A and B are shown apart, each in its own frame.
Chain A
Amino acid sequence: MKRSQKFYLQLGLAVALLIFIGILIYNLWVNLSRTNMLLSFGWLGQPAGFALGEHPLSYKPSDSYAWALCMGWLNSLKVILCGLVAATVLGVLAGAARSSRNALLRALSSGYVALIRQIPLLLQLLFWYFVAFLSLSGTPLAPLGTLIRVSNQGVELLGLHLSVEFSALLVGLSVFTAASIAEVVRGGINSVPRGQWEAFRSLGLPEGLGLRRVVLPQALPAILPGLTSQYLNLAKNSTLAIAVGYADLYAVSDTTITQTGRAIEGFLLLLISFLMLNLLITGGMELLNRIVLRSQQRL
């Protein structure tokens, strides 16, 4: 294609795209002005009027919509951060178990991954909420003494109370994401040459120590990108909180939109909040990646 041809083609496409967007916006404007709902963010200051199941800072129904959305954002952040830690620990264990010498352990891990990945997350969340947590009795189970107590009122971890909704969501998200992380970790471990295993074994290092000190550090650069995308998936999947009644960002936005009818504004706010969450996660992982690469260069 000639340069001028390319230019006119692009110009034409840009105009077509603009016209298309223009038609959409015109339709939107017609529909909104018909219902007297033209864009504004003034409603954010009005009292929300609904209660939240849990809120990390003080909140009452007479507080503004903006504050309620903030609480939702903090609740989301809470479950995402806890989920990241739990899913990583479980996922690395399950992924490492795949390359264990013990055949039973390998079978357990691959069975776990195969089962969890073929069942919808929403179904798993409902299972954890209605079957695993709500059907417990009111008297707490305490398998480890006062360390952890589980009942249908929630989880008591070292004196810290976690609600049933939060616990069910956290367990469901972690178990689901860990299965994918296990695959990422397995792929990373497989990318390390077999000779490295033979080398540390011939040095007499025990299996677990060799895995931690020799294989995993070399597998990290291959693991980190996959891990980042799994973390982003966990963050996005945390919006299924609404199915178990946990007041996360999406659930609060949903209630807000239903009450005010401000769908477009609500969507924009949700979009911005999620871009912020994504930036937080990718930024953190980028930093980690840089630290890992630097420490590897030093070796």
Chain B
Amino acid sequence: MKSGPSPFKRLKRHLLASPLDVLITLLVLALFGWITATSLHWLVVDADWRVVSQNMPLYAFGSYPSDQRWRPLLWIALLIGLTLMTLLGPRQGWLRKALPLFWIAMVPFGVVLLAGGIGLLPIPSHAWGGLSLTLLLTACSGVLALPMGILLALGRQTSLFVIQRSCSVYIDVMRAVPLIAVLFFGQLLIPLFLPMHLEVNRVLRAVLAFALFAAAYIAEDVRGGLQAIPRTQHEAAAVLGLSTQQTLLLVVLPQALRTALPALTNQAVGLLQNTSLMAILGLVELLGISRSLLANPDFIGRYLEVYVWLAGVYWLVCTAMALLARHLEHQLSPTTSATAKR
């Protein structure tokens, strides 16, 4: 590697190239200084973290019965463990191969752990809350939305007119409506469209509404991936004598999903952030539980502490998801997997 110009010269070129640059540099430095000073002062002097430290179990589990809290705790711990194992674990071996299965199994496992049944004490869904509910909402609706989105994307691409039209209409209408409206009407309307005696609990209704909404967005991302596949891939598959189904499952979809992965990651992160909207509709997920805490006279006016803490938690979870996705992207990219096989 060639060594660059001296540090002083580099500093001069990057920060002090012209009088205007000097001015901008000084202004930005002043801004950084002001932000650091005020936030440090607030963190050390003004902030009263009792609203966070005294309520840790609430943020994590909501009003889950205290003798049963090991269940959501176990689930969150397993999620963290899986994340670490995926990011830092062995590159080869059976453990690596089993990881995707573990990830998929986490969703039904989480539902069973939280809801109970099969030997566990049943806990009604209105007692679920906090981070565990946020993660559960994200995981369940994501798992439902992905296959729905793929089907919608394929439907929009077929030459069968009826399917193509109905998928297009569904996707376009869903993408035109705001999420909060979908969620609100999901809570109101899903019971109206079902037979009279079929009860659907609120968490499940929210999961359904999220999934129906997210599927439309996922469909467009997958369609982008499908369109990026060159025609020659279809022709090559046809030459090899693969049937339409085989072409789709073995050739087209894997490549399309890999291309769409960055966009799908954004959808997943967006889905997690959007679960906060359920706070408006009365579920006590991470943001909802904080709203009820702030209504408590002991912690009145402690908005900033709570919001900073929540922002930190959301930031951490979103960053972990983005890291996982980048890891997956790296694993799936054709160049790295080709060298790994050699």
Contact = CB atoms under 8 A, between A and B. Distances in A.
Given A105-B28, A237-B178, A254 B193 contact: no
Nearest to B16: A102
A27 interface: yes
B14 A101 contact: yes
A293 interface: no
B160 A104 contact: no
Interface string B244-283: 0000000000000000000000000100011011011000
Contact of B29 (A104, A115, A120, A270): A104
A102 B15 contact: yes
A131 B277 contact: no
A285 B194 CA distance: 40
Nearest to A24: B193
Nearest to A239: B178
A17 interface: yes
Contacts of B177: 236, 270-271, 274
B173, B193, B196, B279 interface centre (most CB from chain A within 10 Å)? B193
A142 interface: no
Interface stretch (B87-95, B113-121, B307-315): B307-315
Interface string A248-274: 001001100100000110010011001
B195 interface: yes
B33 to A, nearest CB: 12
A239 B281 CA distance: 13
Contact of B304 (A103, A118, A131): A131
A: interface residue count bin: 35 or more
Interface in B275-324: 276-277, 279-280, 287, 303-304, 307, 310-311, 314-315, 318-319
Interface of B is mostly: helix
A127 interface: yes
Interface string A1-41: 00000100110011001000000100110111010000000
A131 to B, nearest CB: 5
A119 interface: yes
Interface residues of B, number: 51
Given A13-B160, A13-B162, A243-B280, A123 B287 contact: yes
A278 B31 CA distance: 38
Nearest to A115: B315
Given A10-B162, A102-B15, A264 B192 contact: yes
B163, B181, B269, B273 interface centre (most CB from chain A within 10 Å)? B181
Contacts of B13: 101
A127 B319 CA distance: 21
Contacts of A253: 181
A259 to B, nearest CB: 14
A9 B287 contact: no
A17 B166 contact: yes
A67 interface: no
Contacts, number: 133
A108 B269 CA distance: 23
Contacts of A239: 178, 180-181
A102 B14 contact: yes
Interface string A94-107: 00000001111100
A86 interface: no
B24 interface: yes
Contacts of B159: 6
A92 to B, nearest CB: 17
Contact of A119 (B28, B188, B189, B314): B314
A113 B307 CA distance: 19
Contacts of A147: none
Contact of B24 (A32, A105, A254, A274): A105
B198 to A, nearest CB: 9
A200 interface: no
B21 interface: yes
A287 interface: no
A275 B196 CA distance: 32
Contact of B15 (A6, A104, A123, A130): A104
Contacts of B32: 104, 108
A177 to B, nearest CB: 14
7 contacts: A24-B193, A104-B25, A123-B287, A243-B280, A254-B184, A270-B177, A271-B177
Please list the 10 inter-chain residue pairs (A to B) with the smallest Cβ-Cβ separation, ordered nearest first: A120-B273, A236-B178, A239-B178, A103-B14, A120-B276, A104-B28, A130-B303, A263-B188, A118-B318, A10-B162
Interface of B: 13-15, 17, 21, 24-25, 28-29, 31-32, 159-163, 166, 173, 176-181, 184-185, 188-189, 191-196, 269, 273-274, 276-277, 279-280, 287, 303-304, 307, 310-311, 314-315, 318-319
Given A27-B194, A126-B307, 16 more contacts: A17-B166, A27-B195, A27-B196, A28-B192, A28-B193, A31-B192, A108-B32, A118-B314, A118-B315, A118-B319, A120-B287, A236-B177, A239-B178, A257-B188, A264-B192, A271-B177
